[in-house]
Structure formats: structure tokens, C-alpha cells
Amino acid sequence: MQVPWAEPVLGEEEIQAVVETLRSGWVGMGPRVKQFEASLASYVGVEHAIAVNNGTSALDICLKALGIGRDDEVIMPAMGYIAGAFAISQNAARLALADIDPRTFNIDPNDVERRITPRTRAIMAIDYGGQVCDYDALMAIARRHDLFVIEDAAGALGGSWRGQMAGSFGHMAITSFHVAKVMTTIEGGMVFTHDAELARRARIIRNQGEDPAQKYRHVMVGNNFRMTDISAAIGLVQFGRLPALLASRKRQCERYNAGFADLGDLIQLPHVEPDREHGWFFYPILVHDRDEVAARLKAHGVDYRIAWPIPLHQQPAYAAGFPAGTRYPVAEDVASRLLTLPLFHAMTDEQQDYVIDTVRAAVGAAPLATASVR
């Protein structure tokens, strides 16, 4: 059996929506982008949503809108996705890192506070795998040190904390609609904020820094970060599917939990903090001898990701910027034992049972006593 790691749900409705958009005579950024923004703003619970061509651009826009630039430091989690680091570098700012929490893999607020220097301007937190960070702690640190907080909810749409949705925390937030995400526009992203002035700036930056009142007059350094109406048309259909997409992932994660519940120390299961509704973009586990386990999964047709295997200070693109011997012990340990298992709407129970059995065998556990769990 072959089981992919992710698989988008793209059906007749998406095809129809694309065809209708092509026939409508308006395919660039237009009415569908506006409608998509309004739908997402209302879902996430923010005043303003700005649709863009991908999540990386959305992070770049946040930094530009907040006025972060040359030699300013921005603190990210040491086990983070490269996109945030690149957005920081694109703005000539400096990548700084803090270690992560050993159970949620989110940025550790205590370590953030230790890493603050006079140059620090912002914290760019990632809601790891779909679980919202502790923004009470991060915002308190930001207030004490006069910093901005950017919530990278690229993989957290649908997650929440005490009923507040991912994408609504911090001064600005983003999400991604990349094809592997829970809902997709194929490529796409969105900036979220409660702040009207930041939203105004974000819209200008997205559109070549152009003065909304005067064509070819450019008031800010921007870029072409626009989303097309074709992408937004797909996004609107996907948004309608979102509750079902989230529900199936949640159920699959519960089945994984049950399938591994008896394994104790052999597998560290995902930890969900109190009052969190997890967005379940990833189902991350920690195992011993990860590379061997991964090789066995591959040999048996089970696809997986290691998200992410190389902490940012060890990435070849950044290693020279960190003194030899720089350590982020938790991030390094987690990155060396991590595996993220297949999770997608169309995964059948049979496929998932096969993944569970394959993982159990790979970590040296006995097959599941099927009747007890299934």
C-alpha cells in the first residue's frame, strides 16, 4: 500500500469556480479576492485581511508594514520554517532565535526574553503544526520591551485558544494556502490585522507600493504580492469545505493517538495545551532512531515529512551568522527525533491503520490488538 503525506481536495466545484472566473472577464486581483478576504477576516475574527500570492510574501509584508529594516533583530523559533528567516533577510534585518518548548514545539517565551537585545524589534512566532502559541506570554514580553509580535499561522488556520482563532493574535498575523495546507488556493497567503493603519500599509506594499489614489506614484517600497481572482475562486470553494477538512483531520489525529496510546516511551505523541483547539496541520511524533524508522516507513510506502529537520542556526544559508558552538538544545533534540505522519481528508481508515501498523513495527512495537481500538 502507498500512503501519501498530504493530498489536496480539489473537485468539480473548484474546477467550476476557475472556469467561471475565466469566463467572467476578470481574472487578476478583483471581486473574488475581496470576497475571499472578507470571508477569512470574519472567520478569523479580525478587521482586516489582505490576500497575497503566498505565505512568505505575507511575512515580508508584515515586516515592511511594521517598519522593520536594516540591522533590526527579529526573534524566531530555532526549529522554524525557512520562510520567516528569508522574509527577515529580505528586509536587511537580522535573524535571531529562541529555543522551543519540548512538548508543543512552539517558541519558548522564557527563552525569548533571555535573547532580547537593544536591537530586537519583533518576535515572529510560529503556531507549530497548527497549535496556537502562548500569546499572553509573548504579548506581555512585547509590552515590557516595546516589541511587535507577528503570528505565523501558516499551518494553523482553524486552530484556536479559548475560542480566539489562529490568525488573530499579535500585532499582525499570516496564513498560507499552499497546496499542502489544510485549505488551499494552490499558492497563496493572507495577512491579518486588527489595525487599520497596518492594513492600509499592507495593501500598498502588496501592490508595488503604489499610492491607492494615484497610479504609478509609489509611496512605499513594496513588491508584486497580489493574489489572482482565479486563486481566490479556488479559495472560496475550499473555505466552504474547511469545517469538513478540519473535522476529518481531528478524527484522524484521535485515531493516531489511540493507535499509539500503549507505546509509552517508544513514541512521544503530540501534546495539546489546555483550552487549545488544534488546527492539526501536522501530526508530529518523536521517536528514537528516527532515520531508521523513517527508512522503514519509506520502504513500506508510507510517506512522511520531517518538519523541520535542520534548526535555523544550522541551515547552510544561515550557519555563518551564528558563532560556532551556538546551541538551541531543545530544537536540536526535537529536530533529530521528529516525524510528521500522513494527514489528509481522503485518507481511509484502512490506509491509516496501515500507517499505524507500519509505524508500530518500525519502532519495534507489537501489532495493535485490533479489536480494542478499531
Ligand X SMILES: Cc1ncc(COP(=O)(O)O)c(C=O)c1O
Binding site for ligand X (CB under 6 A): 54-56, 81, 83-84, 126, 152, 154-155, 176, 178, 189
Q: Tell me the closest approach of the beta carbon of residue 55 to ligand X, in angstroms.
A: 3
Residue by residue, DSSP assigns 283-297 as: -EEEETTHHHHHHHH
Comparison of 338 and 363: residue with beta carbon closer to ligand X: 338
For 208, phi and psi rounded to 5 degrees? 60, 25
Q: Tell me the closest approach of the beta carbon of residue 57 to ligand X, in angstroms.
A: 7
Comparison of 81 and 260: residue with beta carbon closer to ligand X: 81
Helix 229-260 and helix 349-362, axial crossing angle in degrees, nearest 10: 50
Contact (Cβ atoms closer than 8 angstroms) between residue 125 and residue 104: no
Q: Tell me the closest approach of the beta carbon of residue 173 to ligand X, in angstroms.
A: 11
Query: Residues with Cβ < 8 Å from 123, sequence gap 6 or more?
Result: 74, 75, 107, 112, 138, 141, 142, 147, 148, 149, 150
Comparison of 304 and 354: residue with beta carbon closer to ligand X: 304
Place of cell 518576535: 123
The HSE-up count of residue 45 (CA atoms within 13 Å, CB side) is 13
Strand 120-126 with 73-77, pairing: parallel
CA distance 333 to 323: 19
Comparison of 150 and 285: residue with beta carbon closer to ligand X: 150
Q: Tell me the closest approach of the beta carbon of residue 156 to ligand X, in angstroms.
A: 8
Comparison of 81 and 304: residue with beta carbon closer to ligand X: 81
Q: Tell me the closest approach of the beta carbon of residue 84 to ligand X, in angstroms.
A: 6
CA distance 172 to 217: 26
- Number of residue whose CB is nearest ligand X: 55
Comparison of 231 and 351: residue with beta carbon closer to ligand X: 231
CA distances in angstroms from 300 to 1, 230, 256, 369, listed in the order given: 7, 38, 18, 21
State the maximum Cα–Cα separation within the chain, in Å, rounded to a whole number.
69
Q: Tell me the closest approach of the beta carbon of residue 245 to ligand X, in angstroms.
A: 17
Q: Tell me the closest approach of the beta carbon of residue 308 to ligand X, in angstroms.
A: 8
Comparison of 259 and 284: residue with beta carbon closer to ligand X: 284
